[in-house]
Structures are given as structure tokens and as C-alpha cells.
Amino acid sequence: MIELKVNGASRKFDGDPDMPLLWYLRDLLELTGTKFGCGMGVCGSCTVHVNGAAQRSCVTSVKDVAGKDVTTIEGLDKNHAHPVQAAWQKANVAQCGYCQAGQIMQAAALLKQKPRPTDEDIDQAMAGNICRCGTYQRIRQAIHMAAGVKA
Amino acid sequence: MNRIDVVSRRGFLGTVFSAGAFVLGAQILPEDALADGTSGAPAWQPTVYLGLEPDGRVIITAHRSEMGTGIRTALPMVLADELDVDWKKVTIAQAIGDKKYGDQNTDGSTSIRSFYDIMRQSGATARLMLERAAAQQWGVPASQCKARDGQVTAGSHKASYGELAALAAKQPVPKKEELKYKTPAEFKYIGKGVPITDQPDIVAGKAVFGLDARVPGMVYASIEHAPVFGGTVRSVDDSEARKVRGVQRVERIAAFKPPYAFQPLGGVAVIADNTWAAMQGRKKLKVNWDLGANTAYDSTSYKKSLFETVRKPQKVARNVGDVDAEFAKGGTIHEAEYYAPMLSHAPMEPVNAVAEFKDGKVTAWAPTQNPQAVQDTVAQALGIKSQDVTCHVTLLGGGFGRKSKPDYVAEAALLSKQVGKPVQVVWSREDDIQFDFFHAVAAMYMKASVDAKGRPTAWLQRCAFPPIESQNDVTARYGGFEQGMGWSDVPFDIPHQRAENGPAEAHVRIGWLRSVANIYHAFAVQSFADELAAAANRDRVEYLLDLVGKPRTLDVQSIPPNTPGYALDTGRARKVIEAVADKSGWARKKSGPGHGYGLAFHRSFQTYVAAVVEVEIDSKGAVRIPRVDYAVDTGLVVHPDRVISQFEGAAVFGAGLALMGEITAQNGRIQQSNYHNYPVARINEAPREVHVHLMQNDAPPAGVGEPGVPPMAPALCNAIFAATGKRIRELPIKKTKLV
Ligand code: FES
Ligand code: FES
């Protein structure tokens, strides 16, 4: 039995301990905001926070997060008004929107570490998150907008 | 010609509107049909539905699929503007797949082009009927009643649209001639935009994509397809797969019968309690394949054969004058060959679908560009009628053309029938890349003779690529509508021109990818034009304008996919070239070692686009793109922010493909499998700044989703030439060492 916290709620899991956190969230908890894009840690669609740090849930097994705190896009802010979410709406970032939960989680983690990131910081932190629709310019703009706004 | 009528509630089978609503339906009719629907008209099947509810809500159906263009917002917005209601009161109801909506295939950048008029007409019709209802209620002349901002007023009388809905529904439907449209100055939303309907749900993680569809009791399937296109199952040992925790059963799907069209490929499916278990079980399958007829497909030898084809005379797609006679005169001749590889769509959301088979009928939830093709494909696969297939359209996590081919929905439906439960089919990224409907590989040969100023006197172009028509015809070897995509419609003013197309056989599924054949055609034509300009040592803007020639109308309307009413106007071409030169500061920008500017022009989907790309090449040969400028004439702009965002995205998409996109086959197997070996542009590789300059123009609205892609590859390669002196004739760019 694995115990963990997801968006503040205690959860118990007695399935395959090797199951990636991604599928546990999506298929068992029906938290479908976290997306599947590649399954090998190279696209960032599945990004969640584990104890506050961005992590790819497709290559993180449930047993790896035993006793830890997992936050998904659904739990980033109870009113969905985290400064990053607000900036994303203001800049009309999303096209199809599929990658954006991962982008937002990655950006929120970046801003926690570096409240005023430079373009270089953004390149480094966000290079693992693919957007096939090509919204990068607005992602950069929205991160700068959210920078310095209290989360 | 459009037909607009009141829809009785019984006439609308859905549950979208309440019983007391005033519901208008609108349908596009063929040119020769009479407006009253009495003669030559097809059955009454409206495309657009508008409902005014007594409580004041306005419901507009969106019959097109949303994959990031904002179309689910933009079309209803046009109607709301003409109706004159507050956008906040508007609810958008996504239409299911149904012939009653007319054509729903969201493909070819056609949504605004095809439905702008009917949206406005519907809004104007409802507005007039509301005014007439008010006139009747108050006993005043209709001319004194003004419908504005959700209410009708006349002197001291005032009533909301909702209050008038019931009476409005009883008014005779006005003739087209009676309608009064808003003037552009009166537009509230058209040309300005409104917030995108789905943004709040997207940032909250609540937006429902296909992969997020959840149906009680559903199980998950992962499918092993033949590693070579056309392969079939000889035998399966699934004993280990069945032992995997969570695996329920293993099912076969029969192989397609040629031509492949949208049929499922066939294969072996592992059905499980969750996606992970299905994927794990699938890894344990031991399938013995008969690999079929395509095991010799090899990209290296195929490339050779394409070049052999284009070096010989081929079928003529367009002829002006006599290029052979002109070449025979001797003088200066230039020749060049270009190559563009096979590509995969790789939308962020791999294809997937949920289907439930029950009592001989299928209900599907799918990220699809074409829900009616879902109906037909599923019906054919299961031997049922199309009307017994209901397709709910979810949001699409990217489409780019892949999701108009619903093979994956038929897989889910077949499996649901076999296991007696709702099934979600989930393709892995590897499945998505390896079993795509690929963008065709193409080779192009170009030849020109030039005069003393370097201006072409004769121009010959030859291409070969496996055609999309191979979907439906196993003998297809020549391009069909691909010819009209930047090949037979090159807008240059050259006295002798010939475009040819040679045969090529398909060994994988071929499909259309964002802007289709325009990608390789524009690459060859606009690169070759730059080569000629370079040889003549002329300024690129001046040279391209010279090639395009005087403002005139070219007769390319008959070439599919060009549409009547959208003649190729070289005056508009000139204007975007001039505009992009102006906005990018072309005259002041000087290319030098490691830093260059490139220009390209291309018209596709009736939209004129010129692009200037700036590149920086570092000492290791890495390419950076600090800036892209686009000048775009797409006719009337309905939602500027979404038009701009489509071009921002197209710059990234087009640059990424040109820099690094390549799919290859060896022994019939696709060699790439995921984003690590089929890379797409990331934030640090994408153009840093994209500036989109929209021309002011009241011409009919044209396509927006695709036309930003074709000029990217040639403009980028032309910029690299300016920076390094290296001419890229083969994509992707990463194959050429730049220093
Ligand atoms: S799905 Fe996890 S990184 Fe792509
Ligand atoms: S918005 Fe479509 S993949 Fe990023």
C-alpha cells in the first residue's frame, strides 16, 4: 500500500507500484488535467509538482512519490487564479491548449525558484516542454507578466 | 445562396434548445437552388443553428472542430455581432457529427471562408424578425423598432430579445433583399475579437480533450499494429500479455482491405483496466507478422528514384509558351534540385477515442476534425448505418490534418463491440509517429534561362511525390489537388513556363499536413527564385517584385483547391512583399557572415503571405532565429488575435519542420518513434519574435490556419544563404553542416 497526498488530499494506492504517476492521476483518480504526450520524459505535457518541484509524471512511478505531496494543475490554485494562470489568460497563450497544463506547472515552479527570470532562465526551464502549436512567444510573455506577482 | 428558416423543436433532434426558444437554422445551398427550397434544393439540413431563449440566453452551435484556431469562438462571434447581442450572453454548443450540420470537415483552412456569410445572414435575419415581432406586439411600424444590444426599442417601448423570442419565431422569414447588414463601422466584435471561449478551462486543467473522455465502465486499449504498412497477423501468442496485472483480454482487429482510406490498419489489441496495464500487456505480446509487400521501402533508394523521375520529362500540369524552344536558344541556364522529406504530424495529443457499441448503435467521443467521416468510417467497419453512429466532438489537442482521418475511432468501436464495454483506444507517441498518414516526401527539379539582367525568360519545374489519392486508389501515382498548391499556380510573370509532375508510388499511408503540398512546392520555387536573384546579384525584394510582375489577375481558379471568387491577384502579392520589406526594415538590414535575412512569398488557401526571416549562425553552425516578420493579406479579418496567433504558431511549426523534421523508412519500417528522434521546435529553438502585419482589406475572408507555414522553409534557407553562402537544397537543414 502506497500513501501519498494529491492536491492536499490523502490517497492510498495498492495497484502496480511501478505504474507511472501520470496514469494513476488520469485513469484512477480521474484528474485528467495532467496530459500524456510522449511517455518518456521528453515533452513536458505531464508535468506536476512533487513536494513543490516540477517533475514529469510519465517517468515517475507511484512508488517514487510515496509519502510525498503531489500537486496537479487542478490543485495549483483553488480558484484557478495562480498568477501564472492569470497571465496565461491575459496573454491568450493557448491555441489547442493540450500542452498548457504542463507549461503552467513548469512555469509556476520556475517562478518559485526565480521570481524574476531572464529570457535565458526561461529558455532553460521551459525547453523540456513542447508546444506543437508554437505558443512559445506568448509563454515567454506570460511568464514575464506573472513574474513578481505574489503567488 | 443560403436558406434560412425557423426550426420547429421537433425538427431539431438534439437537446440543445428549450421548448420555448426561437430557433433559426441556416443552410448553404448550391448556386442554382431556389431560396425557398422548392427547386433543386437538397433536404433541409441547416449548418448553423441560433437559439434565442426566453430567459435571454443566446445559444449558437459550433459545427466545426476546435484544435487551437479559435474557430469555436470566431464563427459564433460573427453571428452575435450581426444579431447585436452581448457576447457574455452567448453560449456555444458544440455540435455532434451529423449530416444535418452540412459539411463539418474542419480542414483546408475553410471555416471562416465558407461560413462567414451565412453567420452574418443568420444574425441579420433574426434581428429583423425580432423587430417585426416587437412591431406586432406594440402596434407600431417595424421601421420604428430598433434591435440593439439584446433589446428592441421603439419610442418608450422596450423589450429584450428573450421576451420577444416566442413571437419572433412566428414571423415570416424575411427575404435576403429585406435584410439590413451592419456596416463595418458598426461592428462590435468582427475585426476586434472576443475572449476565447475555452481559455479559462484550459488554464484550469478542466478542458476536455479526447483523451479526457470518461464513460462509466470503460476499459482501455493499446494496439499493436504491423511494423510495415500492409502487414498482417499470422499468429499471436498472448499468454504472457494476459498475465499482466489489470489486463482483461486480447482482441484482434482485421487488417484493412486496399485501398486503405480511413480504415483501421488492423492489429492486436490489449484491453485492460487502465492505460498503463494495456501498454504493459502489449509489450508482452508475441506477434508473428506477415510483413506484406512494402518491406523494401527504403528512404535512401526511394529518394534516388524520385530524382531519376524529375530529371526526365513528365506529365504537364501547366504550360505557358514554349520553354523548350526558349532553352534551345542557349544563353545562361540555371538548374537546381530540391528535396523535402516525409513528415509526421505529431500533435501533442496522440490520436485516441472512446466508443460504446450498444444495441446495434455506436456512440463515440473523439478528438476529430471530421465527425461525419467518423460516422461513415465506423459504420462501414461495423456494417451498420451512418445514422446509427453518434460522434461527440471533444477539443482536439492539435490536429494538423491527422485528426480528419478517423481510423482510430473505428478501432475503438470495433473493440467495444467485441468486448461489450465502452473502450478507449490510446495510441502511444510511438504509434502516432510510426503509423501516421505521412506528409509526402518530394523531389523537385528546377530549370530557368535568364536574360542579361538575370530575369527568367523560361522556367521549368518538375516534382514527384507519392500522392494523397493513394488513400482511395491503389494505382494512384500522380498528384491531384496537390498541383493547385503552389505548383500550377506560381504567380510569376515569365513568358515561357511549364510545371510538370512525375509518378511516385506510396509505401506508407499518405495524408495532408498543415498546408500540405505547399510546403515542398514553396520550398523549391521560392528557393530557386532566390538562387536566380543571387546569381544576378540583385536585391531580393526588388527581384521578387519583378518576377511577380504587374498587378493582374491570374486564371488559376479552376485549379483545385482554388475556389471561385478568389482569383489570384498579383497586386495583392506585390503589396504583402512590399509590406514585409517595410515592416521588417529590409532596406536597412544588411546580411553578413553569420547573420542573414531571407525573403519568401507564397499564396495558399487564398491568403497572400510574405515572410522575412532573420538568422544567426554561431561558430558551431547552430541556427538561431531572432525574428520573423510576416505580412498577410487574408481578406477580411474576423478575429485579429487568433489570426496573429495562427501565424505565430505557423512560424514555429514551419521553422521546426525545416530545421529538424524528417521521417525515414528502412526495410519498410519507420525509423523515428518519439520526440527524441523526431524533434520538433522547442522554446529555445523556435523563432524568438514573430511579428504579424495584417493588411487592411475587405476582400472575402481567406484561410488562416495553414498559409503561414509554406514560406517559412524557403525564407529561412534564403537567410542561411545570406549568412553563410551555403545553399540548402535538402531539408531538414540540420543535415547540412553550416560551418
Ligand atoms: S508525457 Fe511525460 S514528458 Fe511527455
Ligand atoms: S497549445 Fe497546442 S500544443 Fe501547446
CATH of the domain at B519: 3.30.365.10
First-to-last CA distance in chain B?
59
Q: What is the pLDDT of residues B679-716, one digit of tens each?
A: 999 999 999 999 999 998 888 888 899 999 999 999 99
Q: In chain A, list all ranges with CATH 3.10.20.30.
A: 2-76
Q: Compute φ and ψ for B507, nearest 5 degrees.
A: -120, 5
Average pLDDT over residues B708-736: 98
**Residue A88 and residue B653: Cβ atoms within 8 Å?**
no
Is there a contact between A6 and A65 (Cβ–Cβ < 8 Å)?
no
Is there a contact between B144 and B128 (Cβ–Cβ < 8 Å)?
no
C-alpha cell at B693: 502585419
**Residue A43 and residue B348: Cβ atoms within 8 Å?**
yes
Q: In the structure, what pLDDT confidence band is assigned to residue B15 with cuts at 50, 70 and 90? A: low
Q: Quick one: closest CA in A to B209, which residue?
A: A98
- The pLDDT value recorded for residue B37 is 42
- Residue B154, classed as helix, strand or coil, is strand
Using most ligand atoms within 8 A of CB, pick from A99, A139, A140 the residue to mutate for ligand 2.
A99
- The pLDDT value recorded for residue B34 is 44
Average pLDDT over residues B390-398: 93
Q: What is the pLDDT of residues B580-606, one digit of tens each?
A: 999 999 999 999 999 999 999 999 999
**Residue B429 and residue A137: Cβ atoms within 8 Å?**
no
* Adjacent-strand bridge partners of B598: B613
Helix axes A119-126, A136-146, angle to 10 degrees: 120
Measured in Å, residue A99 CA sits from the centre of ligand 1 at 10
Residue B157 to residue B155: CA distance in whole angstroms:
6
* Adjacent-strand bridge partners of B356: B363
Q: In chain A, list all ranges with CATH 1.10.150.120.
A: 83-147
| B379 Cβ contact list (under 8 Å, min separation 6) | B362, B385, B386, B388, B389
Rounded to a whole number of angstroms, the CA Rg of chain A reads 15
pLDDT of B406 over the 50 cut = yes
Same domain, B511 and B557: yes
**Residue A95 and residue B68: Cβ atoms within 8 Å?**
yes
Measured in Å, residue B386 CA sits from the centre of ligand 1 at 36
Q: What is the pLDDT of residues B299-343, one digit of tens each?
A: 999 999 999 999 999 999 999 999 999 999 988 999 999 999 999
- Residue A32, classed as helix, strand or coil, is coil
C-alpha cell at B465: 511525390
Average pLDDT over residues B363-368: 96
Number of domains in chain B: 3
Same domain, B175 and B199: yes
pLDDT of B620 over the 50 cut = yes
ipTM of the complex: 0.98
pLDDT of B154 over the 50 cut = yes
Q: Quick one: closest CA in B to A120, which residue?
A: B684
Q: Quick one: closest CA in A to B193, which residue?
A: A92
pLDDT of B30 over the 60 cut = no
Higher pLDDT, B323 or B24: B323
- Does some domain include residue B1? no
Query: Whole domain around residue B618: which residue ranges?
Result: 299-343+437-735
Which of B279, B677, B683, B689 is best to mutate for the A interface (most A CBs within 10 A)? Answer: B683
> How far does CA B653 lie from the centroid of its chain?
13
Last residue of a domain, one of B185, B204, B223: B204
- Does some domain include residue B691? yes
In the block, cell 527564385 appears at: B529
- The pLDDT value recorded for residue B524 is 98
Question: Pick from A40, A74, A130: which is nearest to B205 by CB?
Answer: A74
Considering chain B, what is the average pLDDT of its residues?
92
pLDDT of B82 over the 50 cut = yes
pLDDT of B101 over the 90 cut = no
Query: Cα distance from B667 to chain A (closest Cα, Å)?
Result: 25
**Residue B649 and residue A26: Cβ atoms within 8 Å?**
no
Window 675-714 of B: residues touching A by CB (8 A cutoff) are 675-676, 680-684, 686-690
pLDDT of B17 over the 90 cut = no
Residue A55 to residue A61: CA distance in whole angstroms:
11
Whole-prediction pTM: 0.93
Q: Does any CB of chain A come closer than 8 Å to the CB of residue B204?
A: yes
Query: Cα distance from A38 to chain B (closest Cα, Å)?
Result: 5
- The pLDDT value recorded for residue B566 is 74
Same domain, B235 and B157: no
Using most ligand atoms within 8 A of CB, pick from A42, A48, A72, A99 the residue to mutate for ligand 1.
A42
Average pLDDT over residues A43-49: 98
Question: Pick from B397, B429, B689: which is nearest to A98 by CB?
Answer: B397
Return the residue whose CA atom lies nearest to atom 3 of ligand 1.
A41
Residue B412 to residue B213: CA distance in whole angstroms:
13
Measured in Å, residue B72 CA sits from the centre of ligand 2 at 16
Residue A44 to residue A59: CA distance in whole angstroms:
11
Q: Quick one: closest CA in A to B653, which residue?
A: A134
Q: What one-letter code names the amino acid at B426?
A: V
C-alpha cell at A64: 517514487
Where do runs of H (alpha helix) occur along B312-354? 323-328
**Residue A98 and residue B347: Cβ atoms within 8 Å?**
yes
Residue B202 to residue B690: CA distance in whole angstroms:
24
Return the residue whose CA atom lies nearest to atom 2 of ligand 2.
A96
Query: Cα distance from B245 to chain A (closest Cα, Å)?
Result: 8
C-alpha cell at B13: 433532434
pLDDT of B259 over the 60 cut = yes
Which atom of ligand 2 lies nearest, measured to the CA of A134? 4
Is there a contact between B256 and B263 (Cβ–Cβ < 8 Å)?
yes
Residue B579 to residue B585: CA distance in whole angstroms:
10
Query: Cα distance from B200 to chain A (closest Cα, Å)?
Result: 7
**Residue A96 and residue B347: Cβ atoms within 8 Å?**
yes
Considering chain A, what is the average pLDDT of its residues?
97
- The pLDDT value recorded for residue B49 is 82
Average pLDDT over residues B20-42: 63
Q: Which fold has domain A2-76?
A: Ubiquitin-like (UB roll) (3.10.20)
Residues with a CB atom less than 6 Å from ligand 1: A 36-39, 41-46, 56, 58
Q: In the structure, what pLDDT confidence band is assigned to residue B66 with cuts at 50, 70 and 90? A: confident
Which atom of ligand 2 lies nearest, measured to the CA of A95? 1
List, as own/partner pairs, every contact residues A46-53 make where C-beta atoms lie below 8 angstroms and the sequence separation is at least 24, other chains included: A46/A22, A46/A102, A47/A101, A47/A102, A47/A103, A47/A105, A47/A106, A47/A129, A48/A21, A48/A72, A48/A73, A48/A105, A49/A76, A49/A105, A49/A108, A49/A109, A52/A109, A52/A112, A53/A109
- The pLDDT value recorded for residue B67 is 77
Residue B543 to residue B531: CA distance in whole angstroms:
11
Q: Compute φ and ψ for B477, nearest 5 degrees.
A: -130, -20
Average pLDDT over residues B521-534: 98
**Residue B246 and residue A94: Cβ atoms within 8 Å?**
no
Which atom of ligand 2 lies nearest, measured to the CA of A96? 2
- Residue B700, classed as helix, strand or coil, is coil
Residue B361 to residue B120: CA distance in whole angstroms:
37
Question: Pick from A26, A94, A130: which is nearest to B199 by CB?
Answer: A94
| B696 Cβ contact list (under 8 Å, min separation 6) | none
Which of B703, B653, B662 lies closest to B348 in space, CA to CA? B653
Q: Which ligand is nearest to the CA of B680?
A: 2
E-assigned strand segments in chain A: 2-6, 9-13, 47-50, 53-56, 69-71
The H or E element containing residue B609 is: strand B607-617
- The pLDDT value recorded for residue B348 is 98
Q: What is the pLDDT of residues B437-468, one digit of tens each?
A: 999 999 999 999 999 999 999 999 999 999 99
In the block, cell 496537479 appears at: A72
Last residue of a domain, one of B401, B426, B451: B426
Which of A132, A139, A144 is best to mutate for the B interface (most B CBs within 10 A)? Answer: A132
Question: Pick from A32, A122, A132: which is nearest to B398 by CB?
Answer: A132
Which atom of ligand 2 lies nearest, measured to the CA of B349? 3
- The pLDDT value recorded for residue B72 is 84
Same domain, B267 and B120: no
The H or E element containing residue B320 is: strand B315-320
Question: Pick from B202, B279, B684: which is nearest to A100 by CB?
Answer: B202
The H or E element containing residue B319 is: strand B315-320
| B455 Cβ contact list (under 8 Å, min separation 6) | B536, B546, B547
C-alpha cell at B151: 433589446
Task: Provide the Cα torsion B205, B210, B213, B217; round to 10°.
Answer: -140
Average pLDDT over residues B474-486: 94
Chain A CB contacts of B276 under 8 Å are: 16, 19-20, 23, 27
Measured in Å, residue B434 CA sits from the centre of ligand 2 at 21
Q: Using CB atoms within 10 A of its CB, is residue B448 exposed (0-12), middle (13-18) or buried (19+)? A: buried
Residue B540 to residue B532: CA distance in whole angstroms:
10
**Residue A97 and residue B68: Cβ atoms within 8 Å?**
yes
- Encode A52-79: b = buried (16+ Cβ within 10 Å), e = exposed: eebbbbbbbbbebbeebebbbbbbbbee
In the block, cell 532566390 appears at: B530
| B491 Cβ contact list (under 8 Å, min separation 6) | B548, B554, B568, B570, B573, B603
Q: Quick one: closest CA in A to B651, which residue?
A: A134
Residue B57 to residue B736: CA distance in whole angstroms:
59
Measured in Å, residue B17 CA sits from the centre of ligand 2 at 32
Report DSSP state, residue B343. B
Which of A30, A136, A143 is best to mutate for the B interface (most B CBs within 10 A)? Answer: A136
Q: Quick one: closest CA in A to B194, which residue?
A: A92
- The pLDDT value recorded for residue B5 is 82
- The pLDDT value recorded for residue B33 is 46
- The pLDDT value recorded for residue B38 is 46
Q: Quick one: closest CA in A to B690, which residue?
A: A137
Same domain, B418 and B505: no
Is there a contact between B642 and B634 (Cβ–Cβ < 8 Å)?
no
Is there a contact between A106 and A128 (Cβ–Cβ < 8 Å)?
yes
> How far does CA B433 lie from the centroid of its chain?
18
SS3 helix, strand, coil % of chain A, rounded to 5?
40, 15, 45
Q: In the structure, what pLDDT confidence band is assigned to residue A151 with cuts at 50, 70 and 90? A: low
C-alpha cell at B583: 515592416
Which of B243, B276, B430, B677 is best to mutate for the A interface (most A CBs within 10 A)? Answer: B276
Report DSSP state, residue B209. B
Return the residue whose CA atom lies nearest to atom 4 of ligand 2.
A131
Residues with a CB atom less than 6 Å from ligand 2: A 94-100, 131-133, 135; B 68, 348, 398
Helix axes B640-660, B712-724, angle to 10 degrees: 60
Chain B CB contacts of A33 under 8 Å are: 204-206
Q: Does any CB of chain A come closer than 8 Å to the CB of residue B46?
A: no
Which CATH superfamily, name and number, covers A83-147? [2Fe-2S]-binding domain (1.10.150.120)
- Does some domain include residue B474? yes
Question: Pick from A30, A40, A104: which is nearest to B203 by CB?
Answer: A104
In chain A, how long is the greatest CA-to-CA distance? 44
Q: Quick one: closest CA in A to B643, which residue?
A: A95
- Residue B55, classed as helix, strand or coil, is coil
